Every structure is written in structure tokens, then in C-alpha cells.
Structure 1
Amino acid sequence: MSETSLDTPDKDAETSVTEKAYWSQNIRLLCTLMSIWFLVSFGAGILFRDFLDQFAIGGYPLGFWFAQQGAIYFFILLIIIYNVRMKRIERQYDLDD
């Protein structure tokens, strides 16, 4: 057997551990951001609407604003956060381009 074929199992094992760690961080980040989005869109727009309607933005009750506009703005913000964090995670695992 050649020397390269002997090194392959170790490299495969190392790659497998790296891949698992990478995907673990990726899924954890995704679950965190989706939970935040759920709380903002469902919580602020529906569950906490009565409380938030005491306040106003641009003449509209805050609960209504979150249901119509705020959840969208938060979703865009979460996409930006995901992009920044994923670039950092990819650099950590040497997967950046």
C-alpha cells in the first residue's frame, strides 16, 4: 500500500469531526435565529399585541405595526446576522472562499 492510502482514514476521520462541528454550529445558529423570528412575528404580532397596542409608531398601534412591518424588518436583520455569523464560522473551519 502506498503512504497516501494509509493517511486517508485519519484525514477522513478528522474531516468527519470537523464537518460535524461545523454543522452543529450552523444548526444551532439557525435554530436560535428562527426562534427569535418566531418570538418577534408570532409573539409581538399576536400574543403580546394587546400590550403593545398601548404604544404607537407612525400613528399605528405597535402590535399592528409588528404584525404588518416589524416582523419583516426583523427577518431581514436576522438574515444579515446569519450571513455575518456564517462567514465567521466558515473562517473558523477554513471553509471560506
Structure 2
Amino acid sequence: MSFKSESDAKAYWKENISLVVKLIAIWFLVSYGCGILLVDVLNNIQLGGYKLGFWFAQQGSIYTFVVLIFYYTKKMGDLDRKYGVHDE
């Protein structure tokens, strides 16, 4: 990876870390918030015959994590192209 300048490198990593922190916060909210803290509230809602709180605890956080992986991959590709460090 070769940046045009030191300032580009710092800006790239700042944006990268910012994206990672945001995605980890979303995953935390879904897995811990919906799967543990809000489970009683969410259990009043049914999804496919299962209580929504149970669904988030068992599968929702996993699905969210997979979606976040694909989103991260897309955004990092965009970020690489923005700073000219993408692979051809």
C-alpha cells in the first residue's frame, strides 16, 4: 500500500478506524442490546413463530454480523479507491 502523502495515510486510517468503530457499535447494540437488554420487550413480538428477543439472541446478531462484513468490504473498497491504494 503506497499513499501519495503522509496526510493521505493518516486520513485513510482515521476513516478506516471510524468505520470499524461504528460497525462494532451497531453489532454490539444488536447482539447485546436486542439479545440481552431488550429481550423482554422484544419477546412481545413474534417472528416466524418465535419470540423476537429469542430470535435476536440466537440468530439475529449472527445475520447482522454477516451483513456488516459485506458492508465493511464494500466501504473499504470505496475507501481504497478514494485514496488510490486499491488492487487492480
TM range (shorter): over 0.9
Larger helix proportion of the pair: 1
Q: Percent identity?
A: 49
Structure number with greater Rg is: 1
> TM (normalized to structure 1)?
0.84
Which structure 2 residue ranges, 5 or more long, are not aligned?
Answer: none
Q: Residue 81 of structure 2 aligns with which residue?
A: 91
Q: 1:7 is matched with which residue?
A: none
Instruction: Report 1:7-18 matches (<5 A).
Output: 15-18=5-8
Measured in 1, the distance between the counterparts of 2:50 and 2:21 equals 31
What's the TM-score once normalised by structure 2's chain length?
0.92
User: Which residue number corresponds to residue 27 of structure 2?
Assistant: 37
Higher relative contact order (CA 8 A, sep 6+): 2
> 2:52: which partner in 1?
62
Q: 1-side partners of 2:84 and 2:21: how far apart?
A: 23
Quote the Cα distance in structure 1 between the aligned partners of 2:30 and 2:47. Answer: 16
Q: 2: distance between equivalents of 1:62 and 1:96?
A: 40
Aligned to 1:26: 16
- CA offset at residue 15 of structure 1? 2.0
Q: Does 1:49 align with 2:39?
A: yes
Residue 95 of structure 1: SS of its match in structure 2? coil
User: Any runs of at least 4 consecutive aligned residues in structure 1 with deviations exceeding 2 A, and if so which?
Assistant: none
Aligned length: 85
